């Protein structure tokens, strides 16, 4: 038992390092706590609340039973990198080498962090498209880089993700002598935009002109709807050599807590990422990598990928319908499992709108505490100078069981109509 005299002194003079000083709790932690406190249906944080496919769970049990329990190769467990090379070669239309084209990471999030550590020198600039996955700016600044923000701009009353677009002149102006990297996210969280070939070709032209690298976060690659084509920027002419593409088993097989992700890149970039990754986790969970390898082998015969996008498309349609019926103007996503919705037409009481915080935060707080359905305020996905662009928006996710979506629908209908 610890005695009093062994307690450490009060940390009066302690200040965290500058690289983390300005971070607060994430918006997800804040709104999940609020949802729990008020018994709200949580359509905030984007994780599936339904079981993972039986074949991946069985493969994990099997891998542990077979004592695949020790450290493995830092760049990725041999069976997983082989499976990844097999799956992705036709998608990139090139032969992929399991040993030099992949780095398996602790979720795509670690791949983002390791990439920034590997590519950025202090003062290097990284172009981030808003709204962004919030680990991008954190990873850029922790590596000593400087984020430069360019927002996606929706047309007024946008009802489709295609109506959110990059202004190419604005994007062109963001490049400087110091630009090292552009981060792309397609299918996009939270807008659900799947960048089309023409848009990607325009981005490719700019990065080639400025000799800039691309980190293409494609973790929602298997969740694409209405027959839309998911184009990989690395497959466009001249782009393979300058692109790192990210994937995630968490998203692909509904196992977000496993934290298995990967970077796919030409050997010179993969090697740089590995140099950082070997000093971050060294390697990630061996039996779970084995299970993901097995899952990729079995998925085609199970018809898994078609089932996954059909299942999510039906949930998307269900949520969109309810949001429309209850006074929101949702943007229908072409991919991912998020919907951003315009809240301008809701009858939000004046007392719920606190001038000291952004309107979207106040509205999402009201939705969570008074309506009983938690949503995330998208201003968390914008730089301070652009937070106002999110003031009329709320982000919902539909990666939830139908009964949870129905309960959310009931509450929205009861309280808003
Ligand atoms: C765009 C995007 N990238 C990456 C991630 C994280 O992936 P992982 O869970 O594999 O770290 C998320 C999770 O929400 C995401 O939305």
Mean per-residue pLDDT of the chain: 96
Q: Whose CA is nearest to atom 15 of ligand 1?
A: 133
The mean per-residue pLDDT over the stretch 384-396 comes to 97
Residues 83-108 pLDDT 10s: 999 999 999 999 999 999 999 999 99
The answer to whether the beta carbons of residues 68 and 290 sit under 8 Å apart is yes
CA of 217 to the centre of ligand 1 (A): 8
Give the model's pLDDT for residue 11: 66
Query: Does the pTM exceed 0.75?
Result: yes
Is the shortest distance between the CB of 104 and ligand 1 below 6 Å? no
Is the shortest distance between the CB of 105 and ligand 1 below 6 Å? no
CA of 218 to the centre of ligand 1 (A): 9
Is the shortest distance between the CB of 133 and ligand 1 below 6 Å? yes
The mean per-residue pLDDT over the stretch 323-352 comes to 97
Give the model's pLDDT for residue 54: 97
Model confidence band, residue 354 (pLDDT cutoffs 50, 70, 90): confident
Beta strand spans in 156-287 (E): 164-166, 179-185, 213-217, 243-248, 261-264
The answer to whether the beta carbons of residues 343 and 394 sit under 8 Å apart is yes
Domains of the chain: 24-46+305-416 (3.90.1150.10), 54-302 (3.40.640.10)
User: Has residue 1 got a pLDDT over 60?
Assistant: no
Residue 136 vs residues 28, 116, 118: alpha-carbon distances, Å: 15, 9, 14
Is the shortest distance between the CB of 115 and ligand 1 below 6 Å? no
- % pLDDT > 90, the chain: 94
Mode of pairing for the β-strands spanning 373-374 and 41-42: parallel
Q: Whose CA is nearest to atom 14 of ligand 1?
A: 46
CA of 219 to the centre of ligand 1 (A): 6
User: Has residue 158 got a pLDDT over 70?
Assistant: yes
How far is residue 407's CA from residue 84's CA, in Å, rounded to a whole number?
A: 38
The mean per-residue pLDDT over the stretch 389-413 comes to 98
The mean per-residue pLDDT over the stretch 6-27 comes to 83
Is the shortest distance between the CB of 309 and ligand 1 below 6 Å? no
Is the shortest distance between the CB of 185 and ligand 1 below 6 Å? yes
The mean per-residue pLDDT over the stretch 5-17 comes to 73
How far is residue 323's CA from residue 99's CA, in Å, rounded to a whole number?
A: 47
Residues 223-281 pLDDT 10s: 999 999 999 999 999 999 999 999 999 999 999 999 999 999 999 999 999 999 999 99
Residues 40-85 pLDDT 10s: 999 998 999 999 999 999 999 999 999 999 999 999 999 999 999 9
How far is residue 295's CA from residue 252's CA, in Å, rounded to a whole number?
A: 10
CA of 13 to the centre of ligand 1 (A): 36
Nearest Cα to Cα of residue 336 among 223, 248, 228 = 223
CA of 108 to the centre of ligand 1 (A): 6
Is the shortest distance between the CB of 186 and ligand 1 below 6 Å? no
CA of 261 to the centre of ligand 1 (A): 9
């Amino acid at each position: 038992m610890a005695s009093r005299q062994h307690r450490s002194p009060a940390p009066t003079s302690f200040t965290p390092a500058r690289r983390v000083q300005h971070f607060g709790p994430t918006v997800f932690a804040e709104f999940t706590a609020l949802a729990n406190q008020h018994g709200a249906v949580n359509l905030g944080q984007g994780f599936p609340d339904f079981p993972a496919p039986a074949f991946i769970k069985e493969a994990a049990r099997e891998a542990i039973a077979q004592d695949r329990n020790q450290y493995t190769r830092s760049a990725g467990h041999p069976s997983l990198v082989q499976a990844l090379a097999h799956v992705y070669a036709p998608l990139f239309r090139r032969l992929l080498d399991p040993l030099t084209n992949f780095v398996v990471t602790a979720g795509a999030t670690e791949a983002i962090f390791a990439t920034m550590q590997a590519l950025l020198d202090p003062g290097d600039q990284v172009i981030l498209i808003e709204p962004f996955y919030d680990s991008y700016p954190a990873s850029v600044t922790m590596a000593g880089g400087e984020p430069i923000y360019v927002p996606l701009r929706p047309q007024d009353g946008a009802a489709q993700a295609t109506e959110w677009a990059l202004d190419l002149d604005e994007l062109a102006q963001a490049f400087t002598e110091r630009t090292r990297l552009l981060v792309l996210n397609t299918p996009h969280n939270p807008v659900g935009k799947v960048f089309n070939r023409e848009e990607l070709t325009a981005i490719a032209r700019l990065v080639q002109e400025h000799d800039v690298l691309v980190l293409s976060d494609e973790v929602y690659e298997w969740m694409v709807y209405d027959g839309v084509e998911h184009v990989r920027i690395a497959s466009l002419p001249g782009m393979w050599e300058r692109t790192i593409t990210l994937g995630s088993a968490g998203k692909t097989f509904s196992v977000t807590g496993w934290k298995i992700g990967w970077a796919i890149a030409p050997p010179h970039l993969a090697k740089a990422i590995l140099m950082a990754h070997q000093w971050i986790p060294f390697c990630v969970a061996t039996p779970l990598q084995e299970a993901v390898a097995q899952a990729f082998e079995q998925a085609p015969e199970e018809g898994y990928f078609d089932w996954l996008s059909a299942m999510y498309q039906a949930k998307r349609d269900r949520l969109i319908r309810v949001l429309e019926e209850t006074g929101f103007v949702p943007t229908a996503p072409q991919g991912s499992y998020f919907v951003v919705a315009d809240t301008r037409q809701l009858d939000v009481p004046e007392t719920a709108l606190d001038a000291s915080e952004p309107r979207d935060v106040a509205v999402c707080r009201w939705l969570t505490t008074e309506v009983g359905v938690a949503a995330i305020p998208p201003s968390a996905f914008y730089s301070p100078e652009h937070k106002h662009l999110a003031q009329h928006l709320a982000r919902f996710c539909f990666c939830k069981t139908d009964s949870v979506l129905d309960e959310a629908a009931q509450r929205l209908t009861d309280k808003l109509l």
